């Protein structure tokens, strides 16, 4: 149950990398999120309060046709350190291809880790520490601390066919 005045922010930067029909959003820009049949039984979340827990002010609808996964990955890490996400702990939910790409892009190149090669299992949960550094020219650079990676649930690659 939400006891800390937290809410769920819909960020377009977390949209799935695919353009398949099942990777599109049906929520209009800034629209109110309503519970679906599976959201009506979430313990501790009364149906009448569901929509009030979801902040859609940054939701811009479907990803643009000229958008790419790389653009959205870079936007996401920028969002994490912006006023859009004004918390010390961010819980990001997305698809396995997004997160494999996230690890490929933001883990140091010299680091070998299963997350760069295998997708997170469905429902998988991983904790990481993401850092931001501002270079002398003002450019921001982001990196996952490799020592911070903790598999909380599921892991990587276990859902692939043998």
Query: What is the tens place of the pLDDT at every residue in 42-92?
Result: 888 888 888 888 888 888 888 887 888 899 899 999 989 988 877 778 888
Q: Tell me the per-residue pLDDT of 96-131, one tens digit each, with 9 for 90 and over.
A: 888 999 999 999 999 999 999 999 998 889 999 999
Residue 22 CA: distances (Å) to CA of 16, 18, 68, 98: 9, 9, 17, 15
pLDDT score recorded for residue 141 = 95
For residue 5, name the pLDDT band (cuts at 50, 70, 90): low
Q: Decide if pLDDT at 160 tops 70.
A: no
């Amino acid at each position: 149950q939400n006891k800390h005045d937290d809410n769920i922010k819909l960020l377009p930067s977390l949209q799935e990398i695919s353009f398949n029909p099942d990777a599109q959003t049906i929520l209009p820009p800034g629209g109110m999120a309503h519970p679906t049949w599976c959201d009506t039984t979430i313990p501790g979340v009364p149906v009448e309060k569901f929509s009030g827990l979801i902040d859609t002010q940054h939701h811009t609808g479907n990803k643009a046709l000229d958008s790419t996964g790389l653009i959205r990955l870079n936007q996401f890490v920028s969002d994490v350190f912006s006023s859009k996400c004004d918390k010390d702990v961010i819980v990001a939910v997305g698809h396995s291809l997004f997160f494999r790409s996230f690890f490929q892009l933001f883990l140091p190149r010299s680091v070998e880790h299963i997350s760069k090669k295998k997708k997170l299992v469905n429902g998988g949960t991983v904790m990481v520490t993401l850092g931001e550094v501002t270079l002398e020219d003002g450019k921001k650079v982001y990196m996952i601390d490799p020592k911070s990676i903790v598999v909380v649930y599921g892991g990587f690659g276990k859902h692939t066919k043998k």
